[in-house]
Structures are given as structure tokens and as C-alpha cells.
């Protein structure tokens, strides 16, 4: 993942409605939720929710599929894991010679 893509995704998650919707879809798992179900859980007007979901789709964090008249949304788990990996990839590798949080040592020990 490049910095621009990570910044785009983080910017979209920086809105509280979008963050709540994304976390709800993560909680729902691979099955996802219909847009109406998301609206019920979050108590957001349909037009507002539609805007927020479209921004998450644009950022690549949510995928949609049509099932008859129902629009189902799913978290894009590979994209989520890539973003988390991007954020943690160089954790405690240090700008100087010393790492301070022990995560780098744990990565080495696990290898």
C-alpha cells in the first residue's frame, strides 16, 4: 500500500458516521449487511447513509453487491488488513538504532 492510498482511506474513516458504519460492517463479518439494516443500526437518514457508504466504497474499504432489490454492503477485509499493516509495518524499527516498544523483537521471535 502506498501513502496516498492509506491517507485516502484514513481520511474517509475520519468521519464519525463512516467510521461507525465501517465498524458495524466489520462486526457483521463476510455476510455484511443490507443498507436498510445499516440504517436501522446507526439511525442515519437514508440519503446521508448513502453518501457515507459511497465514500467508503470509493476508498476501497467497502464492497457492495445487489441481491434483487437489496443492496448489500461488506467490509473489504483485505483492504482493512492492508491499511492496518501499513500503519504497523515499521512499528518500533526506530529512526535511530534503538527500538522502544518491543514489537520489533516480538516479530523477530515469531519468525
The per-residue pLDDT for 90 is: 84
Q: Where are the domains of the chain?
A: 3-110
Q: Cα 23–104–89 angle (5° rounding)?
A: 45
Contact assessment for residue 8 and residue 59, using Cβ atoms and an 8 Å cutoff: yes
The per-residue pLDDT for 52 is: 97
pLDDT at residue 12 greater than cutoff 90: yes
* pLDDT tens digits, one per residue of 24-60: 999 999 999 999 999 999 999 988 999 999 999 999 9
Q: Could you please state the CATH topology (level 3) that the domain comprising 3-110 is classified under.
A: Arc Repressor Mutant, subunit A (1.10.10)
Output b/e per residue, 11-37; b: 16+ Cβ within 10 A: ebbeeeebeebbebbeebeeebbebee
3-7, 56-60, 95-99: range with lowest mean pLDDT: 95-99
pTM over 0.85: no
Residue 99 pLDDT level (bands cut at 50, 70, 90) = low
Amino acid at each position: 500500500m502506498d501513502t496516498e492510498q492509506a491517507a485516502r482511506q484514513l481520511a474517509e474513516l475520519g468521519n464519525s458516521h463512516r467510521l461507525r458504519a465501517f465498524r458495524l460492517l466489520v462486526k457483521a463479518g463476510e455476510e455484511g449487511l443490507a443498507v436498510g439494516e445499516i440504517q436501522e443500526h446507526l439511525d442515519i437518514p437514508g440519503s446521508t447513509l448513502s453518501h457515507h457508504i459511497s465514500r467508503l466504497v470509493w476508498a476501497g474499504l467497502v464492497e457492495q453487491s445487489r441481491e434483487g432489490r437489496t443492496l448489500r454492503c461488506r467490509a473489504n477485509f483485505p483492504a482493512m488488513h492492508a491499511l492496518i499493516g501499513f500503519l504497523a509495518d515499521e512499528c518500533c524499527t526506530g529512526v535511530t538504532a534503538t527500538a522502544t516498544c518491543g514489537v520489533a523483537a516480538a516479530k523477530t521471535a515469531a519468525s
